[in-house]
Amino acid sequence: MAYQHKQLEPRWQKYWKDKNIFITNEDKSKPKYYALDMFPYPSASGLHVGHPLGYTATDITSRYYRMKGYNVLHPMGWDAFGLPAEQHAIDTGEHPAKLTYASIENFKKQLDSIGFSYDWSREVATCDPKFFHWTQWIFTKLFEKGLAYQAEVFVNWCPVLKTVLANEEVIEGKSERGGHPVFRVPMKQWMLKITSYAERLLADLDELDWPESTKEIQRNWIGKSIGAKVKFAIENFESEKIEIFTTRPDTLFGATYMVLAPEHPLVNNITIEENKAHIAEYREFASRKSDLDRTELNKEKTGVFTGSYAINPVNNEKIPIWISDYVMMGYGTGAIMAVPAHDTRDHEFALKFNLKIIQVVSAQDNSFDIQKEAYTNDGEIINSHFLNGLNIEAAKDKIIQYLVEKNLGEKSITYKLRDWVFSRQRYWGEPIPIMKDAQGNVLRAFKESELPLTLPEVQSYEPTGDGKSPLSAITSWVQKKAKDGTLEFVETDTMPGSAGSSWYFLRYVDPFNSKQLADFEKLKYWMPVDLYVGGQEHAVGHLLYSRFWTKVLFDIGICPVKEPYQKLVHQGMICKNGAKMSKSKGNGLSPDEVIDQYGADSLRVYEMFMGPLTQTKEWDDSNLAGVHRFLSRVERFYLSDEGKSLLNSEPATQQDQKVLHKTIKKVTEDIENLSFNTAIAQMMIFLNSVAESQCKNKEILNKFLQILSPFAPHLSEELWYKCFVEEKVSPESSKYKFISLSEWPSYNPEFIIDNEIKIGVQVNGKHRGEITIPLNASQEIAVAAAMENSNVKATLEGKTLRKTIYVANRILNFVAT
């Protein structure tokens, strides 16, 4: 008989909820443990079985630390602003909040059905005014510090969808949704000056227990480069100069042309008359490409000559100025000096447009042909006047010194990191708390007493065709009369979805505080997050933005830590038929279906048993059924068919004690290392061992149930109640002690030490059997045991034993002829 999960799981979930056993208390006498999941966006489609993978890992960890005596904070909430709910509103006319809160209700029901030990009393939703009051407050602080500002920047604009799109929403110049043309156009946007924190964001990565691959992604995204800024004069334009940044100033003598981004403000000024039509055509062509398309290394190089020339400052050579889409305004200065001999992209461009290639670093291979490919390795400087004969590093120092002396440039550090575009011309987001005048100039940020600035009702959720939010049409909301009688205007752009997720982990610490973001002393106790589990796809979005906001809040004395998450883990994907599980792909399996057939405990244990947490795993229904059989075996081992305890007080053997204490040690270490699959394997070994010895000792099986409980909490609570609650106190009683709140068992080191060992026996180097002998047994004892092995005896029969090789505790080898 399989255990009756449909009856017992909802029953124990109700007991946990009614008794509030997972509510986090503010007991600062205990050590703390803060386990956090990246909170989900509550979509109408609900969860599929890939979602609970990370949630189960943090739940097992939380349950373990609770039993270890820690004060555990394990909250859950909702990343609730976003485009899907707004698109639903556009299509149906229903308020986005209606879909959002319906989705939250469904998600919460699904999460509860899996038995997660969340403290739901701390639940937050980013669309709740009580929450976004403080998101807006943080924005005002960013504004006060000069870290929030407006600027005209190039964005991906889709006229059909009437919205700005992120780079990843643009594919080959068309919108991912609908396939409509997308253009790169300048628009006034709110920006956050994350670049001011570039060096700290880079340096502090070294202090974090994060996957090295994720830290490297952030390092590359921040992209620190040390080099020089160099000014190039322009022939016939005395007042204009082109400034470039280069990490290779040592190659200046090899600069044979310049490239400006098509959007560069100098392009209109310096383009000669006969080239203007061609330039305009190319700029329109480039505007249809996303940044990702433009930086694709393998794409064919394109460009147009402006007709003007720059002057190379180190040799006064005239070099042509081109525009090309492989150079972008968002990176560096929007202009480069091209050294085709030593840069692959520049070389490809030079070959295509028949531009000069001058080698200035010697190749170690004399047969190397600079006209066929770029040389990008080390070498000695050549063809460079006063730099000749120097190595690259020495040449960099000397040329920078020369540029400074001649007022042609300076040593410089730059970063690839760009300021964060923070505007969305949408309805369903946090309103930006800024007042403007009639001309659109910023007047002031909202005062704290004026927050939260909430969303008004609108007739249409669709953005306007001129790049404005639907909010701009609500005159009664937008226009406010100042004390002096003049009109002020509320900013109509809203914040991106990443605003609320950049600080939500702080609000869980003190979710009901109406006076401040969170109490400083509480933050001091709980922060940073001890374990954060979520996807690597957020490496340069959420994970970078939340680090930035935490540092800003640290600087203004609101947050006591400068980093939000001490340990970060990325759960792997769950695939089905080799593809990432997704309802849109038709291979998404709902946890509701699995729970209905096998139970929540089977789902939890199976997902942890599939393989290492961080690896991609293939869903297999037969393996899920196998885990269900294991849990059914556990139940049958404890209970009779009538549901009565089968346990007794008969003394346990030394072997039973050994397997228990080895299992306690293994599971303890594996939970702390997040190696859940091997912990489960060890528990299966334990069950096989006690089943073989028919051990029904209450003390042994009590402790096993305790270490099983974080993985299979419902079944463990049921067996605990039926086998170990002596007076059968009702779980509804205030005196009842749940297994989830019992004390984690410790292991006895004496039982971990093996007194016997199994070693292999070879004859002439070939494996012929195994023997079990006392630890550190003498050769005589090992040989005597081997001679009792039938296979070894048969192999040696009729042969003359020439030599015996014995290595204690490892191997026994007979040499015989």
Rounded CA gap, 8 and 720, in Å? 12
Residue 587 structure tokens = 């291979």
Crossing angle of helices 52-67/654-672, nearest 10°? Answer: 120
Specify whether the CB–CB gap between 323 and 279 falls below 8 A. yes
Task: Please state, in angstroms and as integers, the Cα–Cα distance from residue 365 to each residue in 160, 362, 371, 373, 374, following that order.
Answer: 55, 9, 14, 13, 13
737 known ligand binder: no
b or e along 652-687 (b: 16 or more beta carbons within 10 Å of the residue's beta carbon)? beeebbbbbbbbbbbbbebbeebbbbbbbebbbebb
3-state secondary structure (DSSP) of residue 269 = helix
Rounded CA gap, 628 and 404, in Å? 73
Rounded CA gap, 62 and 741, in Å? 11
Specify whether the CB–CB gap between 556 and 145 falls below 8 A. yes
Count the Cβ atoms, other than its own, within 10 Å of residue 441. Answer: 9
CA 375 to chain centre: 37
Specify whether the CB–CB gap between 7 and 723 falls below 8 A. no
> Is-cis flag, bond preceding 452, omega within 30?
yes
The dihedrals phi and psi of 768, each to the nearest 5 degrees, come to -125, -5
Surface-to-core class of residue 514, CB atoms within 10 Å of its CB (0-12 exposed, 13-18 middle, 19+ buried): exposed
Sequence letter at residue 480: K
Place of tokens 């698109």: 87
Rounded CA gap, 579 and 616, in Å? 10
Q: Which residues on adjacent β-strands are paired with residue 813?
A: 762, 805
3-state percent breakdown (helix, strand, coil) of the chain, nearest 5: 40, 20, 40
Rounded CA gap, 795 and 806, in Å? 18
Rounded CA gap, 218 and 538, in Å? 10
Element of type H or E holding 259: strand 257-260
Rounded CA gap, 591 and 581, in Å? 12
Specify whether the CB–CB gap between 361 and 379 falls below 8 A. yes
Specify whether the CB–CB gap between 50 and 399 falls below 8 A. no
- What DSSP letter does each residue of 396-430 carry, written as one string? HHHHHHHHHHTTSEEEEEEES--PEE--B--SSSP
The dihedrals phi and psi of 493, each to the nearest 5 degrees, come to -70, 150
What is the 3-class SS of 532-592, one letter each residue? EECCHHHCCCHHHHHHHHHHHHHHCCCCCCCCCECEEECCCCEEECCEECCHHHCCCCCHH
Longest dimension (CA), the chain: 116
Q: Which residues on adjacent β-strands are paired with residue 812?
A: 761, 806
Best CA proximity match to 507, nearest among 533, 527, 534, 535:
527
Best CA proximity match to 703, nearest among 744, 755, 764:
744
Task: Please state, in angstroms and as integers, the Cα–Cα distance from residue 327 to each residue in 169, 225, 294, 332, 662, following that order.
Answer: 21, 17, 8, 9, 61
Residue 518 structure tokens = 């969170």
The dihedrals phi and psi of 480, each to the nearest 5 degrees, come to -130, 145
Binding residues for ATP: 583
Binding residues: 583
